[in-house]
Amino acid sequence: MLRSDVNAIIERSEAFMRRHGFVLPPFAYWSPEELQARTASDAPAIRDARLGWDITDYGKGRFDELGLVLFTLRNGNVAALSEGRGMLYAEKLMITARDQVNPLHRHAVKTEDIINRGGGTLVLQMYNSLPDGAVDGESDVHVASDARLRTLKAGAFLKLSPGESVTLLPGNWYAFWAEGADVLMGEVSTVNDDLTDNYFREPVGRFSTIQEDTRPSHLLVSDYDTWLR
């Protein structure tokens, strides 16, 4: 992706979030230089927990067809999970554009609630896992949606209107996209680890390769290892 495209996506994504009544925390608006200064002094958790902007095209270079906008608002760490105390949770805000597919994947550790916060209809295609972790194309999927137990055929679609949600457990395979209009999505989960706990059926890259055709307006979490050492 071009850095100029990333800058434009962040600008319009922030405006979309505001139109749906969601205002991001102050660090969402910091320049790269301010983020460098703050993580070196009073805000190291932004770097360590990988909070902030995340724009991905899954390494395919077709963001309008295959991509997602994410902003991580808060996140604990894996050590807290193993100890069973401390900050065991994470929260994200995401935007999936109309007909923009997010590929089939699962998590081995994370449990998450995915919420339609506004816009169009959020559609999830769901499968179970086989014992080896592969996609189970046969068995029914039992999933909780707003405390109501739902049963879906393998590969069936679960459609969520604004205000509706679904709880996804480790091993649930799912892809998702928006119908009718772009969707603002919420995610509330156990600790999030995008580096090691994403398993995609097809080979994709979780983070985009950025071509630096202009200066970044805001850093992505994938920039942190370079900018925030």
Tell me what pLDDT residue 4 has. Answer: 98
Residue ranges covered by each domain of the chain: 3-227
For the cut 90, the answer to whether the pLDDT of residue 154 exceeds it is: yes
Tell me what pLDDT residue 113 has. Answer: 98
Tell me what pLDDT residue 218 has. Answer: 98
Contacts 24+ apart (CB under 8 A), 62-65: 63/1, 63/5, 63/9, 63/100, 63/208, 64/97, 64/100, 65/99, 65/100, 65/101
For the cut 90, the answer to whether the pLDDT of residue 180 exceeds it is: yes
Q: What pTM was computed for the model?
A: 0.96
Structure confidence at residue 148 as a pLDDT band (50, 70, 90):
very high
Per-residue pLDDT averaged across 146-153, rounded? 97
Per-residue pLDDT averaged across 103-125, rounded? 98
CATH of 3-227, one of 1.50.10.10, 2.60.120.10, 1.20.1560.10, 2.40.10.120: 2.60.120.10
Average model confidence (pLDDT) across the chain = 96
Tell me what pLDDT residue 80 has. Answer: 87
Tell me what pLDDT residue 81 has. Answer: 86
Tell me what pLDDT residue 63 has. Answer: 96
The string of pLDDT tens digits covering residues 198-225 is: 999 999 999 999 999 999 999 999 999 9
Ranges assigned E (strand) in the chain: 52-56, 68-75, 89-96, 102-106, 112-129, 135-136, 141-145, 148-152, 157-160, 165-168, 173-190, 199-200
Structure confidence at residue 79 as a pLDDT band (50, 70, 90):
confident
Tell me what pLDDT residue 104 has. Answer: 98
Structure confidence at residue 82 as a pLDDT band (50, 70, 90):
confident
Tell me what pLDDT residue 153 has. Answer: 98
Residue 106, beta-bridge partner list: 199
Tell me what pLDDT residue 119 has. Answer: 98
For the cut 90, the answer to whether the pLDDT of residue 78 exceeds it is: no
Q: Range with the lowest mean pLDDT among 34-43, 75-84, 99-108?
A: 75-84
Give 131: exposed, middle or buried? Use CB within 10 Å, 0-12, 13-18, 19+.
exposed
